[in-house]
């Protein structure tokens, strides 16, 4: 299996994102290695030796994705036995020409704590935790978005991801079996209808998720899952609530779609 290394003098998040995005275009498996915070020449040498050792073991040069700004560290990594892909190298010079100024590289700059965005994200995480799963229905005025859906349709992870990654205050409210006889939008949600966003999921996938939680229960039965989803989707359409099916999407994709459809402001950088 071909090895891929993602290396940086910071978190290596940028290297991972770009590297994974590129490799996902190719229908083959890769062995992934991430080496973060390579901030000294000694650590760079250790990373180089690890790459070279992998090259000897596999018989193929590893793919090395990096974003180093320190020229001495970069030179060590570039001299390894891997195939080098330096993302910054390809974009900095054209941007310098376009902007008319020289770049001033600085380690950790892309992921450093910026006071405004950091505070937004911490506040949003606290809000999401305090308003999870309908635990507090008196605080929706402060919500940026209110996610609704049946149990196990992805509301909680999506709420927390929106908060942690983008500083979006996301509450979530579940529609339960007790609601299904006469499912309608609760009175306390009606004043915030413009903030509501619905999640749904395929019945088979919902059955699998619920069965892992409560095996052989009515909660996880095919009949119950299909009935709840049918009623919830009927409500979304009746109330003109925007919604997405989460079955084939990761939490990153779910939240990106929510942001795209709602136009909510992101507090990330």
Same domain for 123 and 242, yes or no, is yes
**For position 269, what pLDDT does the model report?**
61
Q: Report the SS3 class of residue 57.
A: helix
Q: Are residues 120 and 233 in the same domain?
A: yes
In DSSP terms, 243 is beta-bridged to 198
Q: In what order do the strands lie in the sheet with 145-150?
A: 170-175, 145-150, 196-200, 243-245
Looking at the structure, do residues 239 and 258 belong to the same domain, yes or no? yes
**104: in domain:** yes
Same structural domain, 66 and 10: yes
**Domain range enclosing 188:** 115-262
Q: Say what the pLDDT of residue 115 is.
A: 55
Query: Residue 268: its pLDDT value, please?
Result: 73
Q: Which residue among 77, 95, 111 closes a domain?
A: 111
CB 198 within 8 A of CB 173: no
- Nearest CA to 47 out of 6, 90, 89 is that of 6
Q: Taking Cα atoms as reference points, which of 161, 230, 173 lies closest to residue 198?
A: 173
Q: Is residue 269 part of a domain?
A: no
Q: Note the pLDDT tens digit of each residue in 60-117.
A: 999 999 988 888 999 999 999 999 999 877 788 888 889 999 877 666 555 445 556 7
Q: Is the dihedral of CA 50, 11, 156, 245 positive or negative?
A: negative
pLDDT of residue 266: 86
Low pLDDT (below 50) residues in the chain = 111-112
What is the per-residue pLDDT for 67? 87
Domain boundary among 63, 85, 111: 111
Same domain, 194 and 257: yes
If asked whether residues 243 and 180 sit together in one domain, one would say yes
Q: Is residue 107 part of a domain?
A: yes
C-alpha angle with apex 244: 260 to 128, nearest 5 degrees?
70
Q: What is the pTM of this model?
A: 0.73
As a whole-number percent, the residues of the chain with pLDDT over 90 amount to 80
Same domain, 96 and 206: no
Domain match, 16 and 125 both? no
Q: 1 Cβ partners below 8 Å, 6+ apart?
A: 29, 30, 31, 58
On whether residue 267 sits in a domain, the answer given is: no
| pLDDT score of 107 | 60
Residue 95 lies in a domain: yes
Domain holding 25: CATH number? 3.40.50
What is the pLDDT at residue 69? 81
In a domain, 186, yes or no: yes
The verdict on 99 and 124 lying in the same domain is: no
Same domain, 122 and 255: yes
End-of-domain residue from the set 77, 111, 145: 111
Statement to judge: residues 213 and 127 lie in one domain? yes
Which pLDDT belongs to residue 116?
A: 66
133 and 244 assigned to the same domain: yes
pLDDT in tens, 134-155: 999 999 999 999 999 999 999 9
17 found inside a domain: yes
């Amino acid at each position: 299996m071909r090895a891929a290394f993602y290396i940086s003098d910071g978190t290596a998040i940028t290297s991972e994102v770009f590297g994974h995005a590129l490799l996902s275009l190719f229908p083959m498996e890769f062995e992934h290695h991430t080496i973060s915070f390579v901030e000294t020449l000694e650590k760079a040498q250790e990373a180089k030796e690890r790459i070279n050792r992998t090259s000897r073991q596999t018989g193929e040069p590893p793919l090395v994705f990096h974003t180093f700004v320190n020229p001495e560290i970069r030179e060590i990594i570039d001299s390894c036995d891997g195939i080098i892909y330096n993302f910054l190298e390809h974009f900095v010079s054209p941007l310098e020409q376009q902007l008319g100024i020289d770049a001033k590289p600085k380690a950790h700059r892309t992921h450093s704590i910026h006071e405004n965005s950091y505070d937004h994200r911490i506040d949003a995480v606290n809000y999401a935790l305090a308003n999870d799963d309908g635990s507090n229905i008196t605080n929706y005025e402060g919500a940026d978005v209110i996610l609704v859906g049946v149990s196990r349709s992805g509301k909680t992870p999506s709420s927390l991801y929106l908060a942690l990654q983008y500083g979006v205050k996301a509450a979530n409210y579940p529609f339960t079996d007790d609601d299904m006889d006469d499912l309608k939008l609760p009175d306390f949600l009606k004043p915030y209808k413009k903030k509501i966003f619905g999640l749904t999921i395929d019945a088979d996938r919902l059955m699998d998720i619920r069965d892992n939680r409560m095996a052989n229960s009515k909660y996880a039965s095919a009949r119950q899952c299909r009935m709840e989803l049918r009623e919830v989707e009927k409500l979304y359409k009746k109330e003109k609530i925007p919604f997405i099916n989460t079955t084939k999407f990761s939490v990153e994709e779910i939240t990106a779609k929510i942001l795209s459809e709602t136009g909510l402001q992101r507090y990330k950088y």
